[in-house]
């Protein structure tokens, strides 16, 4: 019997419990409800990563933890805020570490579905950043899921006072993205 698919989430900001972090958690929770195991590298963990230095092969324990989790991953979810039309520095720094997987049997994100989640304070930033993130996933040889989640945090009220996701369309998108990731992850095993 195959082990449950293992899905790794990367996302968040220096602000604990950011909208993007909570949406990545939502996709991971939906994946768990479908039988997956998951792990999230949130903003706090991303903030602890040293700057990626390609000229130096030494890695911190935090960097090694992320790389090993991604090596084991059957699928990935990446969430980022839109900062000036691109992904945040925290998320980009984490993704730069994937370079250490270049000589693996499944180099970079090869053979993995990658869900993309973008939060922004405007629709233009959502679209531009979602496209940029999908481009990064392609460059890392991953397969972006057909559904990408982008949320305008100014135009949409996502969470209630208890932190529960209340936007039904976004909840449906999280579930659909989890289903797409797991469909490919199960085919990979």
Write out pLDDT tens, residues 100-126: 999 999 999 999 999 999 999 988 999
Q: What is the rounded average pLDDT for all residues in the chain?
A: 94
CATH superfamily of the domain spanning 6-188: Flavodoxin domain (3.40.50.360)
Separation between Cα atoms, residue 119 and residue 162, nearest integer Å: 20
Which H/E stretch holds residue 102?
none
Separation between Cα atoms, residue 115 and residue 174, nearest integer Å: 9
pLDDT band of residue 189 (cuts 50, 70, 90) is low
Over residues 164-181, the mean pLDDT reads: 94
CA dihedral 166, 169, 173, 179 (to 10 degrees): 90
Helix (H, G, I), strand (E, B) or coil at 39: strand
Separation between Cα atoms, residue 75 and residue 187, nearest integer Å: 11
Q: Which residues pair with 75 in a beta bridge?
A: 7, 113
Residue 5 has pLDDT above 50, yes or no: yes
Separation between Cα atoms, residue 71 and residue 33, nearest integer Å: 23
pLDDT of residue 188: 63
Helix (H, G, I), strand (E, B) or coil at 168: helix
pLDDT of residue 1: 44
Residue with the larger pLDDT of the pair 187 and 66: 66
Residue 170 has pLDDT above 80, yes or no: yes
pLDDT of residue 154: 85
pLDDT in tens, 49-107: 999 999 999 999 999 999 999 999 999 999 999 998 899 999 999 999 999 999 999 99
């Amino acid at each position: 019997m195959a082990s449950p698919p293992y899905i790794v989430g990367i996302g968040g900001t220096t602000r604990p419990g950011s909208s993007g972090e909570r949406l990545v958690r939502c996709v991971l929770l939906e994946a768990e409800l479908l039988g997956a195991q998951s792990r999230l590298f949130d903003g706090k963990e991303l903030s602890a990563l040293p700057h990626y230095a390609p000229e130096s092969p030494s890695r911190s324990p935090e960097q090694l933890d992320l790389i090993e989790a991604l090596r084991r991953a059957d699928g990935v979810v990446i969430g980022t805020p839109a900062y000036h039309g691109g992904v945040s520095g925290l998320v980009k720094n984490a993704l730069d570490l994937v370079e250490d997987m270049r000589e693996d049997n499944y180099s970079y994100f090869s053979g993995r579905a990658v869900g993309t989640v973008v939060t922004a304070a405007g629709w233009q930033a959502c679209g531009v950043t979602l496209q940029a993130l999908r481009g990064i996933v392609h460059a890392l040889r991953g397969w972006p899921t057909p559904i990408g989640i982008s949320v305008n945090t100014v135009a949409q009220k996502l969470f209630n006072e208890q932190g529960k996701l209340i936007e039904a369309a976004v909840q449906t998108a999280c579930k659909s993205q989890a289903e797409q990731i797991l469909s490919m992850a199960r085919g990979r095993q």
